[in-house]
Amino acid sequence: MVLIELDETVLPDISPERLRLEFAIWLYQAGKATKAQARRLTGLERLEFERELGHRGLGTELTEAHLEQDLATLRALKVL
């Protein structure tokens, strides 16, 4: 575990949870952490983290190729 100590007077209006979220998203944007690693740093559930990324314009980009791949998988599993 890594512990970062900050003087509470430096950022008095930001909670530790918010700092953790901001740091995790920064790491993800910078390519220093995967989405899963960043999410684990925040302690958020997957959908909550995805929602937070979406609010920042960092949501998952789904393409037609993604859709075709998903459809092919569903057909192979005989779900469709």
* pLDDT tens digit sequence for 36-70: 999 999 999 999 999 999 999 997 777 888 889 99
Q: List the chain domain ranges.
A: 16-76
pLDDT at 80 over 80: no
Tokens for 51, please give them: 């929602």
pLDDT score for 59: 79
What sign does the CA torsion over 67, 28, 48, 57 have?
negative
Residue whose tokens read 């995805």: 50
| Cα gap 25→40, rounded to integer Å | 11
Estimate the crossing angle of helix 46-55 against helix 35-42, to 10 degrees.
100
| pTM recorded for the entire structure | 0.71
Residue whose tokens read 């220093």: 32
pLDDT score for 24: 97
